[in-house]
Structure 1
C-alpha cells in the first residue's frame, strides 16, 4: 500500500504547481519521495535547479517562489514526513541523479521515476494524477488471511519503518497468530534497528498468569536479530469509533492501516479480510488512547530483543 517515487530535483523545480504536487505525499496518501541521497541533499539539488532557472529566465516566477517556500518549510524537521530512504542502496557519486535512480529502479523498482520529459522510460511529472495507475493511491485492498498475503501487502511499509505498533485487542501467542506475526517481523529492515509493539486488551484470552509464559515459549524464535518486540496489555475498551469486534490496526511511522478481520491465519480454507488506510488523525487518537496512563492501567508483559 506504500508507494515510492523517485522525483528528479530539476523536474520538481520546473513543475507549474509544485506545492500541490508535494502535498500529495505523506501518510494520508501512502505516497513517499525516495530521494536516493539524504533528503537535505535532494532539497539542495532542487534549490540549485531553481537558482539556475532564474538565471536563465525560465519558469514561472510564482511556481518558483512556491517551490522555494516549500523548501523553507522543510527546514523544520517535524515537516519531513514524506521521505523514505532505502538502506543498502548506495548513491554512486560518479553517476548523475537520474542514472542512480534508474540503477536502483532496475534493482528494486519504484512505483515510478518522475522527470520533466519522461525520458529513458521514466514518467512525466506533470502526468502524475489519479488517472494514472502508477500514481493512484491504494487506499484499500482485500486479501486472503494467509501469512504470505500479509507479508506481501505490508512488506514495503515494514521495510521502510522504524517503529511498528500492532493493536490487536484479542492477540494471543497462539498458532493462529504467530504465523502472521512471524511473516510481518520477517519484512523488517533490521539495519534500521526497528522496534515492534503489540498492544492487546486484558481479556480472558490473555490472562496474565499464562500469557507471559506463552509469549516466552512461542515468540522469541520469530524475532529477527536487531529487532525489539514488546507485548503490552491495556485495560479498558477501545474508543467507541474504533471498537469493532474484528478490527485490528497496524500503525507505523509510514502508514496506518485498519485490518478488518484480525492478524491471524485460521486453519483450513482462509477467509478474506479488508485492509483500509486510516487518517493520521485517527492513528494519533489511537496512540493517545494507548498511552493515556491517567485513565488506563497498562502492564508490559513481555519484552524481547535479539542481538
Structure 2
C-alpha cells in the first residue's frame, strides 16, 4: 500500500546520518512516500544540509539523492502551505486535520501527539512506519481508483497492462475503473492526463475500422476534458499476462484483471521494483520493437475524436 508521510525537511538535512537513513526508506517501491510539502521541500533539505557539518562529498550525494527522490519518492497531493500559520509543524498539523498523513516525522513532539514519530525513535516495526508491499484491494471502480490514488495523482501518464481489457464490457466492466481513475487525477488538479491501455489480441476483437468507429461510444462520459486514452492491441505474448499499472514513478502489479465483476471480488496488488516497472514500460513502447502490434494503436480524445497513432 502507498502511504503519504509529512517529513520535516530540517530534520532530514540536519545530518548525513538522518538524511541517508530517511531518504532510503521512501519510494513508490517501498510503500512510503514523502509529501512534497511545502513546495520548497527539497531546497529546504539541501539548505539545512549545507549549513550542517556535512562534507563536500556528502553534499554532492544529497543533491543526487534528492534528484532521484523527486521522481521516485515524493508526491504532490494538492496541499496548501499557509505562511500565516508559521513554521512547518503547524502547517502539517493543519493539513493532517484536513487530509491525514500516515504519520509526521520530525525531531520534536512538543504536544506528545501519537501521529508524530521522532527521528531518534524511528523503527520500521512501528505500526505507523511499517508498509506492506502487497495488499488486497476492493475490485470495484471506486475501490481500485482509491487504492491507487497516491500513485495516480503523482504520475504524469498512466500505463495499464491487462491482456483481457475490453471496452465493450463483455463480462467485466473496464470503463468504470477508468472513469474513476480520471476523476481521482483531475480532482487533484491534474490536467492533460493520458491513460494507455495495453491488451492482447483475440479472434473476437473488432478490426481497426470498427475500433475507429465505436471507440467514441465505448468511452462516452469516461474521458475528462483535455485528457485522452490510447489503445494498444498486441500479438500473443506471454509477457502480456503480467497485469500492472505503471508510470514514470514506478508500478503496481495485479494478480487479477482491472475489470469490475458482479461478485465484488478483490484484487491482489503488489508494488514493483523501479527497475521492473521501467522495463515493463520499455517493453510496451512500439518504437522498441520488443512486442508486435496486432493492428494500429489509436488515441481517443475527450471530444470523441479517434485517431491512429
TM-score interval, normalised by the smaller of the two chains:
0.7 to 0.9
Q: Which residue of 2 aligns with 1:180?
A: 177
What residue is the counterpart of 2:190 in the other structure? 192
Out of 92, 96, 102, the residue aligned to residue 87 of structure 2 is 96
* 1:305 lines up with 2:302 in the alignment: yes
Name the counterpart of 1:265: 260
Unaligned ranges ≥5, structure 1: 55-60
Q: How does 1:82-231 map onto structure 2 within 5 Å?
A: 82-87=73-78, 89-94=79-84, 95-120=86-111, 121=113, 122-175=116-169, 176-189=173-186, 191-193=189-191, 194-208=193-207, 209-231=209-231
Q: Distance in 2 between matches of 1:304 and 1:195?
A: 9
- Structure 1 residue 35 corresponds to structure 2 residue 25: no
In structure 2, C-alpha distance between the alignment counterparts of 1:257 and 1:46, rounded to whole Å: 29
Provide the residue aligned with 1:10 in structure 2. Answer: 10
Pairwise CA distance, 1:5: 1.4
1:210/1:129 Cα in 2 relative to 1: closer, same or farther (>3 Å)? farther
8 Å CA contact retained: 1:13, 1:46: yes
Aligned residue number for residue 247 of structure 2: 252
Secondary structure of residue in 1 paired with 2:83: coil
Secondary structure of residue in 1 paired with 2:260: coil
| SS in structure 2 of the partner of residue 222 of structure 1 | coil
2:4–2:33 CA contact under 8 A, matched in 1 = yes
CA RMSD after TM alignment: 2.6
Q: TM-score of the superposition, structure 1-length normalised?
A: 0.83
- Given that 1:170 and 1:200 are in contact with CA atoms closer than 8 Å, whether structure 2 keeps it comes out as yes
Looking at structure 2, the residues matched to 30 and 69 of structure 1 have their Cα atoms a distance apart, in angstroms, of 26
User: How many aligned positions are there?
Assistant: 289
1:123-155 CA-to-partner distances (Å, cap 9, x unmatched) read: 212333321122112211113422222122112
